Amino acid sequence: MLPWGEMLRAALALGIGPEAFWRLSLREWRWLARGGEAPSRGELMAMMADHPDTGDRNERV
């Protein structure tokens, strides 16, 4: 069983609110929990190209 309370407290300490916490994928959570380094500028640009912001915040993927 996952320690949800501990995970939520850690997310709040990182400034991640409950709504954003519940939208995190397991991969994203593992990256945050490991204290992963930020992506390089090239990696970030590639992610932005692969997943463009449509500007519609209500859109769910």
CA distances to 2, 39, 48 from 42, in Å: 34, 8, 10
Quick one: pLDDT at residue 15?
86
61 residues of the chain, pLDDT tens digit each? 667 777 778 788 888 888 888 888 888 877 777 766 667 788 888 988 988 887 766 655 4
Nearest to 24 by CA among 8, 38, 5: 8
Query: Which amino acid makes up residue 6?
Result: E
Quick one: pLDDT at residue 57?
60
Q: Enter the pTM of the model.
A: 0.44
C-alpha–C-alpha distance, residues 54 and 1, integer Å: 36
